[in-house]
Amino acid sequence: MSKILFVMTGADHWTLADGSKHPTGFWAEEVVVPYQAFTAAGLEIVVATPGGVVPPLDEGSLAPQFNGGEEGAKKMTDALASIGEIQHPIRLEDVDLDDYAVVFYPGGHGPMEDLAVDATSGNLLIDALASGKPLGVVCHAPAALLAATKADGSNAFAGYRLTGFSNAEETQAGLAAKAKWLLQDRLVEIGADYQEGEPWAPNVVVDRNLVTGQNPASAGPVAAEILKKLT
């Protein structure tokens, strides 16, 4: 059975420009929907986090308004509770890329806090990109790409077409004015060819083995593109 590595945040907050800590973590939909797609295809999931901490959930991601109502919120909550792998992560520092067919990064604001500056994750991303294996990154998780600095000082993702949570979406979510920095701006700064879609609508960008999704609604389509690459 092929294995997919889910690299998840270990941060339960995002530090804002004024120094306050916005409670966050991973976004439920971005884990649950791909998890269901991958396991339905017979793939095994392994979760890794910095230090092997249990990834914290952004509780807001289970709110009815983000899940199509109360019934959808209950389904998401129940589905998330059934994913035992989340409670038993391995240490990101112990990951051997050779063990996995795919590397997948779900989002939430958590990666803006830890994975954006995590050198271990950055090196894994550099190696995953070079390996040709499918690499999926969704929503705020492209913040992790900022740490993929090569020996010559350039970013491994410079010149790649990709997407991630947009400035427009961060503004509509009410956090853009409070943030130290915005993901779209930083992705452009590292030399990526950022592709902006309509706010909150699915937007998936594929460039070579890199598959990126703009927002939570893009998580399922990203998983579908990855599965295409495995067949």
Each residue's pLDDT, cut to its tens digit, for the chain (231 residues) gives 699 999 999 999 999 999 999 999 999 999 999 999 999 999 999 999 999 999 999 999 999 999 999 999 999 999 999 999 999 999 999 999 999 999 999 999 999 999 999 999 999 999 999 999 999 999 999 999 999 999 999 999 999 999 999 999 999 999 999 999 999 999 999 999 999 999 999 999 999 999 999 999 999 999 999 999 998
Task: Report how far residue 47's alpha carbon sits from residue 217's, in angstroms, rounded to the nearest whole number.
Answer: 21
Helix (H, G, I), strand (E, B) or coil at 88: coil
Which pLDDT value is given to residue 231? 86
**C-alpha dist (Å) from residue 95 to 174, 186, 216:** 36, 27, 26
What pLDDT was estimated at residue 176?
Answer: 98
Please give the span between the terminal C-alpha atoms of the chain, in angstroms, as a whole number.
14
Which residues make Cβ contacts (< 8 Å) with residue 231, sequence separation at least 6?
none
SS3 8: coil
Q: Tell me the β-bridge partners of 3.
A: 44
Read off φ and ψ for residue 52, nearest 5 degrees. 75, 20
> How many Cα atoms sit within 13 Å of 183 on the Cβ side?
34
Q: Taking the CA atoms of 179, 185, 190 and 196 in sequence, report the sign of the dihedral they define.
A: positive
State CA 166 to chain mean position distance. 14
pLDDT given at position 78: 98
219-230 vs 28-40: helix crossing angle, rounded to 10: 30
Pair 156, 129: CB distance under 8 Å:
yes
129, HSE (Cβ side, Cα atoms, 13 Å): 24
pLDDT for the residue 113 = 98
Q: What is the pTM of this model?
A: 0.98
Q: Which residues contact 78 (CB under 8 A, 6 or more apart)?
A: none
